[in-house]
């Protein structure tokens, strides 16, 4: 039983390390959450419970490891990846294959969901700056070229 555990941990870490930054944490969280959810679900409800548990665990693990703004996308990716990986792995390699599939799918799905959320945020910020709607750090009163202030009453002289 030690060999499958070592294999699961290695696959989960390798899958999570394929990306950089918080994508790594989302991937590792999705992998570990998917495996733990699959194990608990297998004990409670057989193969269907294993799939449901892998999905829930992958979603929770990915959301915990993801960036604050991208938790929803990472959770969806981790859930779909872990559940799908569990189903495919179970058909190929039995219950151990289901655990390996849940780890691989949860890690890849969580990292990909976090990455897609990050790139969507970047696109939105770029669009705002390009269109001229970026008002961060600017005052409401625009400078129209006439610097009045202390020269306000220049006609009265």
Residue ranges of alpha helices (H) inside the chain are 2-16, 22-65, 71-131
Residue-averaged pLDDT of the chain: 78
pLDDT given at position 53:
93
Distance separating alpha carbons of residues 56 and 23, to the nearest angstrom: 19
Q: Within its chain, how far is the Cα of 31 from the centroid? A: 12
**Domain spans in the chain, listed from the N-terminal domain onward:** 22-131
DSSP letters for 64-105? HHS-GGGHHHHHHHHHHHHHHHHHHHHHHHHHHHHHHHHHHH
When mean pLDDT is compared across 16-30, 56-70, 99-113, 125-139, the lowest value belongs to 125-139
End-to-end CA distance of the chain: 95
7 has pLDDT over 50 = yes
Distance separating alpha carbons of residues 116 and 137, to the nearest angstrom: 28
Candidates 28, 77, 86, 78; CA nearest to 57 is 78
pLDDT given at position 70:
86
What is the reported pTM?
0.65
- Give tens-digit pLDDT for 48-98: 999 999 999 999 999 998 888 888 999 999 999 999 999 999 999 888 999
Q: Is the Cβ–Cβ distance between 42 and 49 less than 8 Å?
A: yes
When mean pLDDT is compared across 28-32, 106-110, 138-142, 146-150, the lowest value belongs to 138-142
């Amino acid at each position: 039983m030690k060999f499958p555990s070592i294999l699961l941990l290695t696959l989960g870490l390798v899958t999570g390390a394929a990306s950089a930054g918080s994508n790594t944490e989302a991937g590792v969280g999705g992998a570990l959450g998917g495996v733990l959810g699959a194990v608990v679900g297998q004990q409670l409800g057989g193969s269907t419970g294993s799939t449901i548990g892998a999905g829930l665990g992958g979603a929770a693990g990915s959301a915990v490891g993801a960036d604050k703004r991208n938790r929803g996308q990472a959770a969806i990716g981790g859930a779909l990846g872990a559940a799908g990986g569990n189903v495919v792995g179970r058909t190929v390699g039995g219950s151990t294959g289901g655990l390996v599939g849940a780890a691989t799918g949860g890690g890849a799905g969580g990292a990909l969901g976090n990455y897609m959320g990050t790139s969507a945020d970047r696109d939105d910020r770029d669009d705002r700056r390009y269109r001229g709607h970026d008002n961060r750090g600017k005052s409401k009163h625009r400078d129209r070229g006439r610097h009045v202030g202390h020269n306000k009453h220049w006609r009265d002289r």
